[in-house]
Amino acid sequence: MKRFLTLSSRIRPFLVIASCALIAALALPSCSKGSGSASLKGEKLVNGKFETTRSITVEVYDRSNDGGSDPETNFYANYIKEGMLKEHNVAVTFKRVPRWTEVEALNNLLAANDAPDVCVTYSYPTVLTYAGMGGVLDMAPYLDKYKKQLPNLWQLLGDQNIYWDKDPETGTVYAVEALLFQNNRTSVFVREDWLKKLGLKEPTNLAEFESTLRAFRDNAKLLLGDDAGKMIPFSLGVDVGWRADILTTSFVPDSITDKEMWVRGFDDRRLLWPNYKEGIRVLNKWYGEGLVWKDFPLYPIGDKTEDNLIKAGFVGAFVHNWDIPYRDGEQGIHANLKKIVSPDAAYIAVDCFKNDAGKYRKYLSAPIDRKVFFPATNDEPVASLLYLDFISKFETRKFLQIGESGVTNEPQPDGSVKMIAVKGEKIMNSGMNIDYTITINGLDLGDPEITAKSLANGYGGVDKRFIEKSYAIQRNESRITPNFNVGVVQAEEGMGPALKEKRDNLLVQSIVASPADFDSVYDRGMKDYLSSGGQAIIDERAAKYEKMFGMETK
| Helix 17-25 and helix 496-512, axial crossing angle in degrees, nearest 10 | 170
CA distance 41 to 505: 49
pLDDT along the chain (554 residues), means of 10: 36 37 41 40 79 97 89 97 98 95 92 96 88 95 96 96 92 96 92 98 98 98 98 98 97 97 94 98 98 97 94 98 90 94 97 98 92 97 98 98 95 92 90 95 92 82 89 90 87 90 97 98 98 98 93 64
* DSSP code string of 78-112: HHHHHHHHHHH-EEEEEEEEEGGGHHHHHHHHHHT
Same fold, 49-181+369-446 and 186-364+482-491+530-549: yes
What does the pLDDT read at residue 552?
A: 66
What is the residue-wise DSSP string for 441-456?
ES---SSHHHHHHHHH
At residue 367's C-alpha, the angle toward residues 365 and 371, to 5°, is 95
Helix orientation angle between 17-25 and 102-111, rounded to the nearest 10 degrees:
20
Write down the domain spans for the chain: 49-181+369-446, 186-364+482-491+530-549
Query: Which of 267, 161, 256 is closest to 491 using CA atoms?
Result: 267
Strands 54-62 and 90-98: parallel
Q: Residue-wise over 72-89: b if at least 16 C-beta within 10 A, else e? A: eebbbbebbbebbeebbb
Question: How far, in Å, CA of 436 to CA of 199, rounded?
Answer: 46
Record the pTM: 0.74
106 CB contacts (<8 Å, ≥6 apart)?
Answer: 59, 97, 115, 119, 121, 123, 126
Cα–Cα distance, 106 to 439 (Å, whole number):
18
Q: At the topology level of CATH, where does 49-181+369-446 sit? A: D-Maltodextrin-Binding Protein; domain 2 (3.40.190)
Q: Which of 95, 122, 85 is nearest to 390 (CA)?
A: 85
DSSP structural state of residue 298 = G
| Bridge-based pairing state of the strands 176-180 and 368-373 | antiparallel
Q: What is the pLDDT of residue 65?
A: 84
C-alpha 281/C-alpha 406 separation (Å) is 51
Q: Which residues, in sequence order, are bridge partners of residue 478?
A: 362
Superfamily of domain covering 186-364+482-491+530-549: Periplasmic binding protein-like II (3.40.190.10)
What pLDDT, on the 0 to 100 scale, is given for residue 105?
Answer: 92
So what's the pLDDT on residue 481? 86
Amino acid making up residue 139: M
